[in-house]
Amino acid sequence: MNHEAGENMPGDLALNMEIIQQLKAQINAVLIGQEKVVDEVLIALIAAGHVLIEGVPGLGKTLLVRALAKSIHGEFSRIQFTPDLMPSDITGHVMFDSEASKFRIRKGPVFTNLLLADEINRAPAKTQSALLEVMQEHQVTLEGKAIPVPEPYMVMATQNPIEQEGTYPLPEAQLDRFLMKIKIDYPEMDEEYKLVNAVTTGQVGDVFDIKKIQKKTEPQKIIELQKQASMLAIDEAVARYAVSIVRQTRHWQGISMGAGPRGGIALIRCARASALLQGRDFVTPDDVKKVALAVLRHRIILSPEMELEGMDADRVLNALLEKVAAPRQ
C-alpha cells in the first residue's frame, strides 16, 4: 500500500499532535481509569460528530464533558432530560419583551459548543427529535429563522443501560445521527483507588474539583484539527475495507438489520480522526478496526435468537471483524 501524506493540510502536524496529547493527559488526570473513553470522545470531536455514552450513573460522564469544555475554552451546557421536558426547553423560544414592546428570541441551552444531554431516553420522542435538526444542521429554526449554533459543536448524550422503566428508546433515525456509541464501564481496582483517594483528600463533598483543568487550546484550533483530519490520506484498499465491514453487517448471521451507507461514512471519518490522534497523516486498517465497535454497535439490530442467547452487538461485531480480511500494509 502506498502511504502518501496529504500535502495541503492546514497547520503543523507535530504542533497539533502536541495539543491533542495535552488534552488527553489533562482529561485523563481527572477522569481516572477511562483512557479508552477519553480517546473515543476526542476521536468524535476531531471527526466533528456527536456521541451517545452508555453507562451506569456515577462514572464521570458529566465530569468528562466539563473537563473537555474547559480544556478547549469552549462553552458548556447540560440538559437533564425528563418526561415533561418540552422541545422549546431545548431549542429556545420567541417571547414578548413588554419593556421594549417587541418580540425577542430566547436561545435555549443547545446554543453552546459542548452539550450534555443527560439521560436522553427519559424524554418522549417529540422532545428527543428537537435535537435532530441541531445535530444534523448545526442550526435551530425559531419562528422561521435559522440560527446557527457556535462551532465546534458536539452533542454528548447519555443513557442508562439498566433502568428501563420510564424510558423511551431512541428511534433509529436519531441513533444514526450519533457518530459513535461509547460504553463507559467501571475502572480497574488501582484506578478506582486513585479516583476515591483523589476525591476524598482535602475536599468537601463528592464533586470532582476541575479547577486544575487549564485551557490548552481554543475552539478555532479544534475546527482546524477537524479540517486537517478530513484531509488525511486514505488508501483505496483501506477505504474499501471499511465499506466491506459495513456491507457484511447487512447479511451477517445474527444481525436482523445492518448498517446503512452512513455507517461507512462514519467509519472513515473516525478512522481519519484516530490516525491524527496517533500523530499520523495517513489511515491504516488498524485505525478502521479500532473505531469499528463504537461506530457500528448502535447501527445494527440483532436477531431475536441472538438476544435470547444473551449475545450483544459487540460480540457479534467482533466475530464479523475477525472474518473480514484487512488489506496488508
Domain boundaries, the chain: 14-215, 232-329
pTM of the predicted model, to two decimals?
A: 0.87
Cα-based angle 281, 293, 22 (whole degrees, multiple of 5): 45
Please tell me the predicted confidence (pLDDT) of residue 201.
Answer: 67
Q: What are phi and psi of 105, to 5 degrees?
A: -90, 125
What CATH number should be reported for the domain whose range is 232-329?
A: 1.10.8.80
d(CA 89, CA 131): 11
Whole-number CA gyration radius for the chain = 21
CA 49 to chain centre: 6
Please tell me the predicted confidence (pLDDT) of residue 125.
Answer: 82
What's the average pLDDT block by block, 10 residues per block, for the chain (329 residues)? 45 78 88 89 96 82 86 92 91 79 84 92 84 87 87 90 66 85 87 76 60 85 93 95 96 91 96 93 95 96 83 92 87
Cβ(88)–Cβ(106) below 8 Å: no
Please tell me the predicted confidence (pLDDT) of residue 202.
Answer: 60
Dihedral sign, Cα of residue 43, residue 126, residue 78, residue 122: negative
Please tell me the predicted confidence (pLDDT) of residue 166.
Answer: 63
Please tell me the predicted confidence (pLDDT) of residue 6.
Answer: 43
Q: Which of 6, 46, 80, 52 is nearest to 282 (CA)?
A: 6
d(CA 179, CA 262): 9
Cβ(47)–Cβ(182) below 8 Å: no
Return contacts of 279-282, CB within 8 angstroms, 24+ apart: 279/13, 279/14, 279/17, 280/232, 281/5, 281/6, 281/9, 281/13, 281/232, 281/233, 282/3, 282/4, 282/5, 282/232, 282/233, 282/234, 282/235
d(CA 29, CA 19): 16
Please tell me the predicted confidence (pLDDT) of residue 259.
Answer: 93
Identical fold, 14-215 and 232-329: no
Q: Which of 25, 23, 119 is nearest to 71 (CA)?
A: 23
Please tell me the predicted confidence (pLDDT) of residue 272.
Answer: 97
Please tell me the predicted confidence (pLDDT) of residue 32.
Answer: 81
Q: What are phi and psi of 170, to 5 degrees?
A: -70, 135
Instruction: Provide the CATH topology of domain 14-215.
Output: Rossmann fold (3.40.50)
